[in-house]
Structure 1
Amino acid sequence: MISSDVVSLFTNVPLTFTIDYILDQLYTVCSTNCLQLSKSKQCVDCKRRIDFQTLPGIATSKTHFSFNNKIYVQHDGVAMGAPLAPIIADIFMAYLETTLMDELISLGVCEWHRYVDDTFVFINPNANVNGILSVLNGFHPSIKITYKVEKDNELEFLEVKFIRIPERHTFETTIYRKSTFTALITNWNSYVPIECKKSSITSMIDRALRICSTYQLLATEFNEIRKIAKLNDYPTSMVDTLIGIKFSKYRNKQQSNKSTTENFNDNRQIIYVEIPYVKTTTSELKKRTQHLGELRHSARLKNKTTTTTTTTATTTITAINLDQAQTSSIEKHIIETGHNMDWRNFNVVCQGNHHYRRLVKESLLIQTHQPELNKTTHSIPLIVFPDGFSKTYLPDPAK
């Protein structure tokens, strides 16, 4: 593995060279002599080519800026932040790839992945890295390309560290931070909305969940996030809560996607129908349409029930949308097995008028009894009792 980077690409892009390439792709020149004629005698394509050539020139090489009370004109390269800068830079790099790729492959390049001016490359073990670099730097004198070779089976690319696992012939990924990283984020004592402070933590958590390829690397990154948060005076309990919430959503999404993939990977057409619930009519409709195919139904409740589900039985009956399925473990069980739930035959394990306290009780029961049907680890993070209670202190749902 090697990674390469173009030194100061934007300010070193050869404008005339790149604009000529753009014109060649857009307009075909009938002959060199036609361009040398007066505009009135030129063909239509040559006229359009000359007219278009002035536009990127005005937007790039005719850019004015001041420095030390002097006015300058940028005659080459593109200005950082200019609207056309990323487009022209990307076109130049695409031209480089198109022109040199066959030669690079012959030198041992297996795969080539580029993001703007940063490139991640797989090469053969016996490839000549200096030869590859020489070909790249010989494309145009305005640019200079540097590279970095993997060391100890590790290579950093952008914000990702790639770790080669030779014995398994695979790769692992985790977060990479440069040596200049200061760990400075929005301080907890800053006079800003609390949402901004939480976003400073959740953005790092989301990045870890997206990049870390194993739970071990993810746990290590979570510890790094805790250290960064502590350096910026964030409460440890709040950081642990945010990590727990984000990780629970991540796990639930993984399980939901896996269940959907395993159970609905056929090519059968799925039809969604929403009808109002009328007790006798709806039951009769279900019987008469049963022979048409596998039917599934669920009640989408407008408000959460406070006692039992029988109090909200008059809401709408709809088919479960498989692309937007609910994350309820009971609903997953119905989808996977096709069982009909007897909503009248169940026990109320705990009661409470406060919504948050009910969530805490549910989390303690899940942690203590770990029911097979419910795959949720907790309804809300248990900060005070992370390991749950002894079974002697909690009611048994089976009784």
Structure 2
Amino acid sequence: MSQSEANASVARSTDEDRVVVVGLGYVGLPLAVALARSAAVIGFDIDAERIAELSRGQDRTREVDEHALRASRLQVTSDADACAGAAIYIVTVPTPVDGSSRPDLRPLLAATETLARLLDPAARPIIVYESTVYPGVTEDICGPLIERVSGLKRGVDFFLGYSPERINPGDREHSVDRIVKVVAGENDAVTERLAALYGNVTEAGIFRAKSIKTAEAAKVIENAQRDINIAFMNEITQIFAKLGLSTLDVLEAAGTKWNFLKFRPGLVGGHCIGVDPYYLSHCAQSLGHLPRVILAGRSINDGMGTWVADSLHSRRESRIGSVLVLGVTFKEDVPDLRNSKVVDVVKRLRWLGHDVTLHDPLADAGAAREEYGLTLDADALDRRYDVVLAAVPHLSYRRMDAATVAALVEEDGLIADLHGIWRGQALPDGLQCWSL
């Protein structure tokens, strides 16, 4: 079959063609459930325990509720062979960085090798990547790998596409069915096939990027831009702290200007904002360009946890004491512990000699222990501490009244409220209060 004939066969694909979503985490599961409303979808994950949980209607990420999961037509499996011969494979595995902050493509390449063995050239399958990468990974790394493992020819036996994920864990407003979906294929027929597939999912519309590399670049700068803006907020926070000013007070005033960008300071972790800029900087350096702004922003944000701990220590006049840290996940109202910068605060406080107790109503205690060696104390709210640090503004913490907050702190203690969740509370006289 010629390439033009192969392209035409892609365009003739029907909505009944099987779709396989590879990776059922925070990104893959909501996408698979949404796709299953209009297509035959198999969700594949190498974690057999995760598949067992999903089969029971349980989602540990809390991105899909039990009712929606049980009602879905989605099939889930950890058996790769059950995914053979599909028309479309969508890869949503993590793309982390290694200990030296360099892109770690091992999960992506492992998933690519697995699906390469499942391809049926008669189906003219499309392999779509949603994982965040730097421009060129899909076509220059993944495509050749598929060819080597499968023995098939790209552009004839299989085709490549890219559609960057935009999942924001815990965000019920910007869910996968309410956001604009960017799609790009290696040719127009693939792009249109992906536009039709994702068009059945989202009500916000489809944007056809000029090329796969364009779509890859768009994704990686989305989070890099946010990282840089937050880094500016964190730097001015450190400046204003020396002036005795509250950054939150300053931002309230500055925010009255119509074109002021309303970012806030804080701990920047997670699987996207704290990671993606390193993919862009790696790409830049491989081209001989030193990405000064991107790396400066990362440096500021990576050091924010240590700065917070040192600030608390200084406000206590270097007195060693007991510290309760409320929240250890990377953001509010999610159980996700990946790349949580609260861990940096805890490590620094302990290095300074403080006795630190951790509490989080959403984080999995086993995961916290396994990933970071941290112990969560479910009964931590029954005692008093020299310092109470509201590190993550979970809903249960935001709902605490003044009496509840005060009951956690010794009479001459310090309340450190990073996000200003208790700024409106009339706390007892004598308590020190500090926020960014």
Larger radius of gyration: 1
Q: Same fold (TM over 0.5)?
A: no
Specify which structure has the higher proportion of helix.
1
Q: What band does the TM-score fall into relative to the shorter chain?
A: under 0.3
* TM-score normalised over the length of structure 1: 0.21
